[in-house]
Structure formats: C-alpha cells, structure tokens
Structure 1
Amino acid sequence: MKKYLYLLIAICSIAACAQQPERRDLLQSDRLASLYSRDKAGEINFEEETLYLKTIEQPKFIYKLTTTLPIKKERVSKNAVVLLSFEGKTNESSEETGEAKLLIQLRQSDSFKENLDRTLNIGSVWKKYYIPFQATQNISKDDLAVVFQFGFQPQELALKNIKFEVFPQNTALEDLPKTEVTYIGMEMDAEWRKIAQARIEKLRKSDFNITVSKNGQPVEKANVQVELVRHSFPFGATMHAEELLKDKDQYERFKKVFGLTVLGNDLKIKRWSSKSRRKQTMKAIDMLRADNIAVKGHVLMWPGFQYNSDEVKANKNNPEKVKELVRKHMWNVLAATNGKISHWDVVNEAYTNKDFQNLMGGEEFLYEAFKITKNKAPQVTRFVNEYGIISKGGIDTQKQQWYYDYIKRVDEHVPGAVQGIGIQSHMGTDLTPPERVIEILSFYATLGKPISISEFTMDEQDPVVREQYTRDFMIAAFSHPNVAEFMFWGFQEDGRGKVDIYEKDGTIGEMGKAYFSLVDKDWKTTLSRKLTKKESIESRGFHGLYQYAVTVDGETKTGYFEVKNQKMNEIKIEL
C-alpha cells in the first residue's frame, strides 16, 4: 500500500510538473558575500549566512545607501508574480519604535515611477517577512533587479534565508504569502480621526437659511428638497487626452465624479513636441472646459534630461541651447493654453532631477520658469511639485526641509512666484500615519500657501488596507485648512495597480469605495423639510453647488444655489 501511495505521489508530481513549471529562486546566494557599500555613510557585511546592512550616518538621500541583490537575470512578463522573502531583525535603531527601516524596490525599468517600492519596519526579534510583487509591465532581463535602500537614520538590520522567487504565469498574487501591513491610527476609534472630523465640520461647512416666497410673500405648506451636487472643494483625477476622446464610457463616469483633471503626459515637452498629439490635447482640453471641468497643467519644466525631448537631450552639453529649447516650449504651451488652464505645476521634482542645475551651475533657470509663467500667464496659479514628502512613512525630514527651503529660495528670487505647494503622495506599504500626514501639512502651511495633494496613489493591494487608508488619508487631508485640492494620479485601473476609483469593467474599485463613502455619503448634505407655516429653513452644509426642488400645491420648481465659505448664506427662492 505504501509503495502504491509513493508511486501515486510521484506520478502526480511528474504530471503537475509537466503541466506547470515550479517556482524558481533567482537569488545567487553564493554572491551575497561580495556586496559592499559604495558610500562611507554605511556598511554591508555578510557573516555566518547573514547579511548586515548598517547606516553609520544618515545620508542626504535615502538611496545613497543602496545594494542590489545578486540574481539570475531573466525576463519577467507583465502580471507575473514574484516573492521576496527573508528573516529579519533590527540590531540598532534611532527610531522611537526601536525598529530599523528597509526600502525594497522591484526595478521594472529605468524610470522610478514604473518601479514598485515597499518600505518595511523590521522588528527587534527574528521574524519572517514576505513581500510579494506583481509585475505591472514586461520586465527585460537587463532591467530586472531587487534593490535594498537603507539610508535612514543610524541603524543596523540583519537579514538571512533570503529568497527571490518567480512563480508560474497563472499564479495569483493573493495566493502568495505576505507580511501584514498596518499603520498607526488605523483603529476605528482612533482619536486623531475624531479631531479631524470636528475640523472638517468647522472648516468645510457653513450655515445657510432658505426662504421660500411667492409674489414677495413667504409661503406655507411647501415641501423643500435640497441636495449637494458638487463640492466647491476640488477633487480630481488624472486623465489622458486619448482616453478622454476615445473611451466615452470612462469619460462619462469621470464627469459624474470629478470637476478637476490634470492631463498626465499630454502637456509635457516630450508629448507636446508632436504636432498631431498637440492637436489631440487641445481638443480634449476644449471638451473638458465645455463640460465645466477645470484643467490643471502639468508640467512646464522637468529638469531631468530623461523627461525632455530628444532635441533637448541631444544638446545636454550646451546650456544655452537647452535654455533656448525649453523656453520655446514654455512660451508655446502657455500661449496655446491661454485662458484654458486653471493652474500649472511649473517645476517638477527638482530634488532628484538636477541635470539642468548641474549643467547651468545653479537653480536660476528653474526660477526663470516661474518668471516666464508669471509674465505669460498671470491669471494661472503657479505650483511647485515634489514626491517623497509625505510617503515612506513621512520620516524623510531632510527632503521635507529641502523642499521647504527650496520654495523659500524661489520666492526670494522671484517674489510671489510660488502660489501653491504640490505634495504628490505616492504611497508604498510603509503607510504614513494620518497624524504624521497632518503634521507635515502643518509644517508646509507655515509658508502661507495652499497645498495640493497632487498625485495620490497606493501600491498596497490588500483590499481592506487599500480602502481604509485611502479613506483615512482623505480625512486627514480634507481636515487641514491649507489643503486646497485632492488629486488622484489615475482614475480607472490601468494595470499598474496605482489607482482604482473604477475597475476596467466599470465596477467601483477599493479606492473608489473609500472616495464615494466620503464624498457621496459622509461629506454630502441633503435636506428634506416640510414648511407648515411662514418660516425659513436654517441648516448647515458643505460648501458647494446645491440643487433644490420646492413643491407647493402640486407644482414644483427646481433650481440651484451655492453655499459659500461665509458666516451665513441667505438663500431666497421665489416661486
């Protein structure tokens, strides 16, 4: 019987192998001992089958302390799943939690926005960590890499039993083990949330008084229905000109949800240099404006050569020619969109993109971008825009301080140049506690400018965490008096797993569930009142556009009114 059982298992195993390849560990563990730190601020050692990553002094940039795991290079297809696993513990920490931090990156291309990041807090005792990824694009064997970044505050962490496994193509991400993602303040009775909701009640609402009259006299026995149909606070999402024009179903959904958009790539110098695409972009902008949707411009200057046109890159050693080409682009796009753009991201991501600054010996050309915008389009609001300010747990205080000081430098060189602060908010799995989000917003609020949550995304795919953190982040942002807009960097799930207000099939995604539970429920004012005598209706509601329906003696009148951010809104409805 045992022989038969063993034979059956062997036959089944052979059959399974014939049908589906086994998962493969690509780590070349025999080469871990060769890893070393290229920066004296850190140390990398490999002893007794354990990898030690030590930060001696926190560098200016987290990525300055980096090592790439030795793996067998092979191509990974889009949607394939991979699993990084290891046992880890913290030996030394500068954090109050006693934990060390490790940023893990699955490199998919040479563009940082295409790569997938996870930031872990490593505990003080040995624990098994599972970090699954699903490729959002085809990854060439030359691009595939697993990168560890550890340029945080002084710390030391230890890793052992490291594996990097690639699974068969039909393996589902949810079938892989994973380390649970949590964040401080996620509990349902968290105190920060109660305080934030009280601020929202005070900041985002005003009193209103409705009087119904006929022939100048108050009426009685009237049924009054009132509903908020659009917030004055601008909630928005990224769209692209091509999908706006060609995907009518998606655009119809978008119009019902948002009153603000930013065209992701269409106004950037690379795309704008194509005349056919330029024509498509202008057609999309005109369509959006006809539908009363505000359009934000992104971006006039991106000071990294990789984000510029081929002509700019071909002159990367000629500063005057680069200036000429970039100026020409800015003049052209500002003239073409004059009166059609509400606000612009003038300079994008100047912290990590320093090609222009290095070529020209300073930031003066960046300041000039604000001068050009101020002169050519004085009616638009001018924003700076930067990533890594709120994300990664909100602990990168050096970058936060740099951005703060940079904004001040721009204003010193061009008085009044910066009118708004863009904070991108691309969230990995090291989810910044909402209280810390509010602290960072308050830090930038001391500059006295409106703040845009300009590019909110989430890499975390766990549906419960994805929905809850989106909701909590929105509550934190909406509760802050300086936050003037909230923009998702995406609208419909596009295969990258960044934003899912809607899924591809038109159903509501996890982030959409969070959004609608707030904007269409918790933050929506409705009123149904029956007047029995000559009286007015006093109430309080969110700022925005309202639709009303008043019925008297079987006849109904409908219309609109606004509740503005003022002490009292007197609404007079004449039948």
Structure 2
Amino acid sequence: MKNSINLILLCFTTALAVAQEIPVGVELIDSSRLEYVQCMSDQGEVLFRDGDEPILEFKTLEQARFIYKLNSSLPVEKQKINKETPVLLSFEARTSESSEETGEAKVLVQLRQSDSFKDNLDRTLNLGSTWKTYYIPFETTQKVPADDLGVSLQYGFAPQAFQMKNISFQVFDKDINIADLPQTEITYTGMAPDAEWRETANKRIERLRQSDFNITVLKDGKPTKNAQIEVELVKHAFPFGAAMQGDDILDNPEQYELFKNAFNLTVLANDLKIKRWSNKSKRKKTLKVIDKLRDDNITVKGHVLMWPGFQYNSDEVKANKDNPEKVKELVRKHMWSILDATEGKISHWDVVNEAYTNRDFQNLMGGEEFLYEAFKIARNKAPRSTRFVNEYGIISKGGIDTQKQQWYYDYIKRVDENEPGAIQGIGIQSHMGTDLTPPERVLEILSYYATLGKPISISEFTMDETDPVVREQYTRDFMIAAFSHPNVAEFMFWGFQEDGRGKVDIYEKDGSIGEMGKAYFSLVHDAWKTRASMNLGKKDVLEGRGFHGLYSYKVMVDGKESTGYFEVKNQKDNDIEIEL
C-alpha cells in the first residue's frame, strides 16, 4: 500500500467486563507435546523455552501471500464433540516484535470442526506488549469427529513475533451457557459515542445523499393556498440489498416478504454461477425468479460470470483442468449462454470473482489474459449491464492486509490497460471477522480505491462477531462510513436472515429483527428516511430537503385528498408540481 494510506489498527481490550468464576471443563491440551509445535512454513518459526512456565514463541520472518500459510497446530487430545458444545481456549500472550504502528502482533485463532475450511470457526486478536490473559470461547456449530478436532494459530502477517504460555483448551457440558464463559472484550477505534469521524461522516451524508425540493400544489394550473401536504420517502435511490437464493424467492413467500420490506436490490447467491447454470433443468426456474424480482421492482445483480478456481466450476470444466483450450471453450460458452438468456434483466454483473486466491485459470493458461477476456465478453454480450470486479480481504481483517490491497488495486489497473474501460465498478466484499476494521480505516481504504475513478460496491457484508452490542454498533458505524463515501454506489449484505451460520441477522429465524437489523432499520428506515408535513397556509411552495429516491405524497385541499408519487434526484433543485 502506498505511503498515503496510514494504518489505524483495531484495538482489543482484554480485561473481563466483570469478575466472574470460570467454570471448569475437560482439559484437552497435551502440555507434554508443546515443545513439538512447529510452523508449517519456512517463512516463520516456533521456538520452545522450557521452565516453570514453558513459553512458545511464534515468529513471522516474512509476510506470507496468504495469512494461513504460516500456521501451527496446538497439541489437542482427540475427542469427538457434539453440536452446540461450548469450548474455551485461553492463554497468556504478549508481543515481542511488531511491524505495526501499534506495536502489536496479530494472530488468527481457529477451531477446526471438519476438513473443510468453511466449517471452521475463527477469531483474530491483536496482542499487547505485556503479558495478558486472553479468553476465546466458541460454541460448535456441528458435530465434530475426533479426527477433525483441532486448534490452530495463523500468523502470516507482516514480520512479527509473539509469545504464549499457560495454554488451555477446555470442553464443557452442554448445560454450560457460552455466555457464562469469560471472553476477551472487543472494541475498535472510533466506537465512542462522540467519535469525531462519525460527526464528519454524517455531515457528508447530508451533503452527498440529500437534495433540496420545492413542491407547488396546482389547481387549474394555478398555485393553491391552504393545502395540507404530507410526503414520505418510500424507496431509496441508493441501492441497499441482500443476497437471496432463488428457491426461497419462489417457495418461501414469508421470507421473501421480509426481504421486500427491507431492500430494493438483490443478488442471487448461487443461481447464476456456472455449477447451477450447467444444470439445464434448473435454468427455467432461475429465469422465472429473475422475472418475479423485476415485476416487484427489485434490482437484480448477477453473480458471477467467471470464478477462476476449478472447485467453483462445473464438473466438465474440472474434468479438463489440464486442457487450457477446452477450459476456455467451456467457460466462454457458459458466459455466452447466461448473458444471452438474461440480457436486459441484470443491472450489473460480478464479472470475475476472487482472482487473488483462485489462480487455477491463470496458472493453467500462463497469465491473466482469459480474465481480461471475460470483461470483453460481458461488454459485448450485455452492454447495458455494469461490469464489476469482486474481491474479499480488502477491508476486513482490521484493514491491514496492505499486500492484498495493493495487488487488487494493481490488478484493476492491469485489466483496464488490456481492456480499456472494461471494469466499471469495484466490489469490496467486507466479510468482517472479529478483527473489526476501524471506520476511519474503512474510509481510507475506500478513498484509495476511489482514485481509480470507479464506483465502489460493498458487495458482501457479513460479520462473525457475536457480542450483540458490538454487532449492532459496528454494523451501524460501518454503514455510516460507507454511505458517507462519495464513491460507494451500493451496500449489499450476503444474506439477511439468520440461518445458523451467524453471518447476517437483519432478521432472526422467527422473523424478528436481529442485532444487525436494529442497526440497519435505524438508519435506512429512520435516520435516512425523509418525512415532511406542512400546512401551506398563505405560502405557495413547500420547501424541503430530503434523501434521494421515490416519495409518496398526500395533499388535502378543501376536504378532498389527492395522492401520488414524485422523485427527489441528485441535483441542485427539484421543482415538483402536483396538479389536483
């Protein structure tokens, strides 16, 4: 990352909120094997220091391309664990070397539940320079076979070193509530109620997302006095959305109604991916879903035309993984087919997804040219659809992965150099763990990508942090920061109803409003929703200022009511005439 980007790091407070008696569980750490803990990469090392309190020191000698490349497994006794079982990892730790301005080292703690990374639970910590005790409770989300159970540390960040001692991993009976276990208190820079960044951001929102309007009520072409006018924003011009599954849109009307009450934009999470589209029997239903969404005035985003990792492609593509020309042929045919079938129905596309970590196509074909071609195909076959690139790990992880941030910036430039104007928008996924990126750092990163001169999509917002207060407040703060940035053109949650994964809870399973939903509705349906009511009296014009979007109005003159709609657009003046 260039020098103009200053790092503002997440701050973790490690004191317990209140003194409490810690329950005793079954200890699974085999302390006799701590001396054999190793780093699984020559970019790092682990040192063991014996004594009354044996100490492990984990060193990052060189920042890895991927954080997980530097990892160490703790010696855990193998034991099967049932679903919804509370466990507690605790240790004392301190930073001995750091590359960060805070002087802290970082470590991602991961509870392994299966051989799939998607099932693992993790938490990222900043470690202070003095010995402190850290508590990390988890609750298993599935049955964990004995052979799969594990606890690992990932530390492939900038060069650093940290020490750990008194490591414990306990399993508890299911009658122990995870809330009864101690945990490291999480804070982030900028969460104070009077934080200056928030006041400044709200002023930007008022300036950028609102415009003046003047309403004149006419009767027989002449202004009418003594009119009672009520106006209310009913649909934001700014796209707020969430991912949905096509099957739920058609087959789960209660859930779809919840969605429509909250959002004006959706992305089909899986229906337009090559794996699903290659099943021709399902295409008709997918197209029916798109038509229904359009009938309901829901903007539809397409995801995704090309995902350059074989695991995300059809069986036929994977079967030809050693034949670059055949892979090109199959992927081209897929893009041509889906773009033809959806022409004019998809507002914008994620053209290429996650090219940083998924490099199978690039490795097979000796470069990125086929990725560039995807944008060319999208431009030629669907010229009315805006073309986005999409990537994760840019804003998340505390916002300090400057290596990936720089790669993404340079990659966008390379695509544009090879296919001028091919990328029209920048997708930043924003899957937030517990390492919550400070809002000011979020704004810095957004401003960095804004120098590329393209709109930015917050394309897949989720959060792993489970503390209800932090979950609600950070969602609110992140949305304020994003909405206040002039280049941010949409905000998309990756899901909207709690599904057991703990990623998004605009609504809980029972349809009640979740913690993230409290933040969302307090902004989009309250603080950012314009309402006005006025009796004109002797005035000819109702003067106001409101958020951009579609408004309903109700006018009462001489006991007669007239209703309708008008728009407040992003322009200096909106002169609106209502003819009775």
Query: What TM-score, normalized to structure 2?
Result: 0.93
Quick one: which amino acid aligns to residue 509 of structure 2?
K
User: 5 Å matches for 1:74-223?
Assistant: 74-223=79-228
1:475 corresponds to 2:480: yes
What SS is found at the alignment partner of 1:306?
helix
Alpha-carbon distance, 1:106 to partner: 2.5
The residue number in structure 2 matching 1:345 is 350
Alpha-carbon distance, 1:326 to partner: 1.6
After the TM superposition, which of the residue ranges 167-176 and 96-105 deviates more from structure 2? 167-176
Quick one: which amino acid aligns to residue 37 of structure 1?
C
Alpha-carbon distance, 1:113 to partner: 4.3
1:371 corresponds to 2:376: yes
After the TM superposition, which of the residue ranges 170-179 and 408-417 deviates more from structure 2? 170-179
What whole-Å deviation, never above 9, does each CA across 1:124-173 have from its counterpart, x for those lacking one? Answer: 11111111222334444444432211122222111112122233345433
Distance of 1:272 and 1:172 partners within structure 2: 43
The residue number in structure 1 matching 2:341 is 336
The residue number in structure 2 matching 1:251 is 256
CA contact (8 A) 2:429 2:458 kept: yes
The residue number in structure 2 matching 1:27 is 29
CA contact (8 A) 1:54 1:154 kept: yes
Are the structure 2 counterparts of residues 326 and 56 from structure 1 closer, same or farther at C-alpha, using a change threshold of 3 Å?
same
Distance of 1:502 and 1:84 partners within structure 2: 30
Quick one: which amino acid aligns to residue 68 of structure 2?
Y
The residue number in structure 1 matching 2:559 is 554
Alpha-carbon distance, 1:356 to partner: 1.2
User: 5 Å matches for 1:528-539?
Assistant: 528-539=533-544
Query: How many residues are paired up?
Result: 555
Which among 503, 508, 513 is matched to residue 503 of structure 1? 508
What SS is found at the alignment partner of 2:533?
strand
Quick one: which amino acid aligns to residue 338 of structure 1?
E
The residue number in structure 2 matching 1:3 is none
The residue number in structure 1 matching 2:359 is 354
What SS is found at the alignment partner of 1:279?
helix
Distance of 2:201 and 2:366 partners within structure 1: 44
CA contact (8 A) 1:385 1:423 kept: yes
What whole-Å deviation, never above 9, does each CA across 1:317-362 have from its counterpart, x for those lacking one? Answer: 2222222222222122112211111111111111111111111111
The residue number in structure 2 matching 1:396 is 401
The residue number in structure 2 matching 1:314 is 319
Distance of 2:82 and 2:273 partners within structure 1: 29
Kindly, what percent of the aligned residue pairs are identical? Answer: 72
Are the structure 2 counterparts of residues 503 and 325 from structure 1 closer, same or farther at C-alpha, using a change threshold of 3 Å?
same
CA contact (8 A) 2:273 2:304 kept: yes
User: 5 Å matches for 1:2-41?
Assistant: 23-41=25-43
What whole-Å deviation, never above 9, does each CA across 1:363-387 have from its counterpart, x for those lacking one? Answer: 1111111111111111111111111
Are the structure 2 counterparts of residues 315 and 248 from structure 1 closer, same or farther at C-alpha, using a change threshold of 3 Å?
same
CA contact (8 A) 2:38 2:73 kept: no
Which among 416, 419, 428 is matched to residue 424 of structure 2? 419
Alpha-carbon distance, 1:526 to partner: 0.5
Quick one: which amino acid aligns to residue 225 of structure 1?
E
User: 5 Å matches for 1:507-522?
Assistant: 507-522=512-527
What SS is found at the alignment partner of 1:561?
strand
Distance of 1:219 and 1:445 partners within structure 2: 47
The residue number in structure 2 matching 1:450 is 455
Distance of 2:115 and 2:454 partners within structure 1: 34
The residue number in structure 1 matching 2:547 is 542
Are the structure 2 counterparts of residues 168 and 269 from structure 1 closer, same or farther at C-alpha, using a change threshold of 3 Å?
farther
Alpha-carbon distance, 1:204 to partner: 0.3
Distance of 1:328 and 1:108 partners within structure 2: 38
Distance of 1:447 and 1:254 partners within structure 2: 33
Alpha-carbon distance, 1:70 to partner: 2.8
Which among 234, 240, 264 is matched to residue 229 of structure 1? 234
Distance of 1:216 and 1:393 partners within structure 2: 59
The residue number in structure 1 matching 2:9 is none
Distance of 2:26 and 2:283 partners within structure 1: 46
Are the structure 2 counterparts of residues 261 and 132 from structure 1 closer, same or farther at C-alpha, using a change threshold of 3 Å?
same
Quick one: which amino acid aligns to residue 381 of structure 2?
K
What SS is found at the alignment partner of 2:417?
helix
What SS is found at the alignment partner of 1:332?
helix
Distance of 2:275 and 2:223 partners within structure 1: 61
What SS is found at the alignment partner of 1:289?
helix
Are the structure 2 counterparts of residues 139 and 293 from structure 1 closer, same or farther at C-alpha, using a change threshold of 3 Å?
farther
Alpha-carbon distance, 1:534 to partner: 4.1
The residue number in structure 2 matching 1:275 is 280
The residue number in structure 1 matching 2:14 is none
What whole-Å deviation, never above 9, does each CA across 1:217-244 have from its counterpart, x for those lacking one? Answer: 1111111001011110000001101111
What whole-Å deviation, never above 9, does each CA across 1:200-226 have from its counterpart, x for those lacking one? Answer: 010000000000110011111111001
Distance of 1:341 and 1:171 partners within structure 2: 49
The residue number in structure 2 matching 1:71 is 76
After the TM superposition, which of the residue ranges 296-305 and 102-111 deviates more from structure 2? 102-111
What SS is found at the alignment partner of 1:130?
strand
1:44 corresponds to 2:46: yes
CA contact (8 A) 2:530 2:546 kept: yes
Are the structure 2 counterparts of residues 111 and 377 from structure 1 closer, same or farther at C-alpha, using a change threshold of 3 Å?
farther
Alpha-carbon distance, 1:22 to partner: 8.0
Distance of 1:176 and 1:109 partners within structure 2: 24
Distance of 2:420 and 2:114 partners within structure 1: 39
Distance of 2:413 and 2:143 partners within structure 1: 42
1:571 corresponds to 2:576: yes
Are the structure 2 counterparts of residues 24 and 355 from structure 1 closer, same or farther at C-alpha, using a change threshold of 3 Å?
farther
Distance of 2:387 and 2:326 partners within structure 1: 25
Are the structure 2 counterparts of residues 335 and 52 from structure 1 closer, same or farther at C-alpha, using a change threshold of 3 Å?
same
CA contact (8 A) 2:386 2:425 kept: yes
Structure 2: which 5+ residue stretches go unaligned?
1-22
Distance of 1:22 and 1:43 partners within structure 2: 33
What SS is found at the alignment partner of 1:39?
coil
Alpha-carbon distance, 1:54 to partner: 1.0
CA contact (8 A) 1:22 1:168 kept: no
Over aligned residue pairs, what C-alpha RMSD do you find?
Answer: 1.6
The residue number in structure 2 matching 1:12 is none
What SS is found at the alignment partner of 1:322?
helix
What SS is found at the alignment partner of 1:457?
strand
What whole-Å deviation, never above 9, does each CA across 1:292-315 have from its counterpart, x for those lacking one? Answer: 101111111111111112222222
What SS is found at the alignment partner of 1:421?
strand
CA contact (8 A) 2:548 2:570 kept: yes
After the TM superposition, which of the residue ranges 296-305 and 275-284 deviates more from structure 2? 275-284
Are the structure 2 counterparts of residues 110 and 302 from structure 1 closer, same or farther at C-alpha, using a change threshold of 3 Å?
farther
